[in-house]
């Protein structure tokens, strides 16, 4: 059984004036998955969502839903459920009227509408607010109403635009778990836009990392984090240190100042070639003892559950390391650094 592609973008390009918002997007969203479009502001993720929703027409390329070309089909005929960043609840209607909106437009019988609205509000755990106006609800509750309104029409795909951005941190974390649970229960194919890497890593089945109107990498969270395809992805998701190195033999490189380290990369290196290596701070080991590289602490940032330590090797190379429990360190303290051979990633 092969996974079915629900939404497909083929060579989608879109420019606003002289600004190229999308520079050729190819993307397939698989049945039942939760896909995150992740990137900094202006990367084209919201434009991608608007193109799928039918709010923006692509200059070039096609949009397919279940294999049907919907590129020129207006938004109201696409049958997608959308939750907007501002929630976009109708202020002149009650919560129940908001949720019922899409069903009324479809000419559903009133009795059936009432039952569906109650069911949808129960799904998002928001009973007893049906007669209130959106303005009387908290941000988190409005978000649930928006979700119920989008889900009640049983859309083919659910689109979420920065769904958690407007909530405060505590609420955002609980809502994140709940969103995932609702998505799992309903089993709906979902695409969400976010600039928050934690949100993408924690929520998505697959992440499309976007930059300058292109998808830099598409893959499961673990793959995107542990094997970033480009320097941009490595930089955008998680912290890291980039090292310019040149190979001495298949498994040894020099990382500046004559410092030699062993590396284990998926491919053997050719002596003399230049490589760009990346190391995640949690893979940099600090301590004392034989076989460690001599270094000095140049900066310490205590962050509660972990500490970020900036170290400078005797060769002058600077590295970022995170440690769970560190003895109190201060700038200038001598320290030993170990760089495990399998901690290095090669970046194009």
Could you list the residues that contact another protein (CB under 8 A)? Answer: 53-55, 74-82, 84, 86, 88-92, 101-102, 105-106, 149-150, 153
Q: 3-state DSSP call for residue 336?
A: strand
- List, in sequence order, every residue forming a beta bridge with 345; answer none if it has no partner: 278
Distance CA 224, CA 235 (A): 11
Between the alpha carbon of residue 238 and those of residues 102, 210, 286, the distances in Å are: 40, 15, 19
- Minimum separation from the CB atom of position 82 to another protein (A): 4
- Minimum separation from the CB atom of position 24 to another protein (A): 25
Exposed e or buried b per residue across 267-276, where buried means at least 16 C-beta atoms within 10 angstroms of its C-beta: eebeeeeebe
> Of the two residues 91 and 128, which places its CB atom closer to another protein in the complex?
91
- Minimum separation from the CB atom of position 88 to another protein (A): 4
Distance CA 331, CA 333 (A): 6
Write out the DSSP string of 293-310: EEEEEEEEEE-SS-EEEE
> Of the two residues 76 and 185, which places its CB atom closer to another protein in the complex?
76
Strand order in the sheet with 19-30: 19-30, 5-16, 60-65, 68-69
- Minimum separation from the CB atom of position 105 to another protein (A): 4
> Of the two residues 102 and 221, which places its CB atom closer to another protein in the complex?
102
> Of the two residues 81 and 228, which places its CB atom closer to another protein in the complex?
81
- Minimum separation from the CB atom of position 93 to another protein (A): 8
> Of the two residues 164 and 201, which places its CB atom closer to another protein in the complex?
164
Q: How many CB atoms lie within 10 A of CB 292?
A: 15
Distance CA 337, CA 241 (A): 14
Backbone φ and ψ of 26, nearest 5°: -120, 125
> In the 8-state DSSP scheme, what is residue 55?
S
- Minimum separation from the CB atom of position 230 to another protein (A): 33
> Of the two residues 94 and 298, which places its CB atom closer to another protein in the complex?
94
């Amino acid at each position: 059984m092969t996974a079915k592609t629900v939404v497909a973008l083929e060579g989608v390009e879109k420019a606003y004036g002289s600004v190229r918002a999308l520079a050729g997007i190819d993307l397939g969203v698989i049945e039942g998955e939760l896909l995150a479009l992740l990137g900094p502001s202006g990367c084209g993720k919201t434009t991608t969502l608007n193109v799928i929703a039918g709010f923006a027409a692509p200059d070039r390329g096609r949009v397919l839903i279940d294999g049907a070309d919907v590129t020129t089909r207006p938004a109201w005929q696409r049958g997608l459920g959308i939750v907007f960043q501002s929630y976009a609840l109708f202020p002149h209607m009650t919560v129940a009227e908001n949720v019922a909106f899409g069903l009324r437009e479809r000419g559903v019988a009133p009795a059936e509408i009432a039952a569906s609205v109650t069911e949808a509000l129960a799904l998002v755990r928001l009973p007893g607010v049906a007669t209130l106006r959106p303005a009387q609800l908290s941000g988190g509750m409005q978000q649930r109403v928006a979700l119920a309104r989008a889900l009640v029409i049983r859309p083919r795909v659910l689109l979420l635009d920065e769904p958690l951005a407007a909530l405060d941190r505590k609420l955002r974390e609980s809502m994140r778990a709940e969103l995932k649970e609702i998505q799992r229960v309903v089993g709906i194919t979902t695409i969400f836009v976010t600039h928050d890497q934690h949100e993408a890593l924690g929520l998505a089945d697959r992440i499309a990392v976007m930059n300058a109107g292109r998808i830099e990498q598409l893959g499961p969270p673990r793959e995107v984090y542990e094997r970033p395809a480009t320097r941009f992805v490595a930089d955008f998701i998680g912290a890291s240190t980039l090292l310019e190195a040149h190979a001495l033999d298949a498994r040894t490189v020099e990382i500046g100042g004559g410092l030699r380290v062993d590396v284990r990369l998926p491919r053997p290196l050719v002596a003399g070639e230049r490589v760009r290596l990346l190391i995640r701070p949690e893979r940099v080991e600090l301590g004392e003892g034989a076989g460690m590289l001599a270094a000095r602490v140049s900066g310490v940032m205590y962050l509660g559950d972990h500490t970020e330590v900036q170290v400078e090797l005797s060769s002058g190379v600077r590295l970022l390391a995170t440690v769970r429990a560190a003895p109190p360190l201060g700038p200038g303290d001598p320290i030993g650094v170990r760089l495990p051979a399998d901690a290095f990633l090669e970046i194009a």
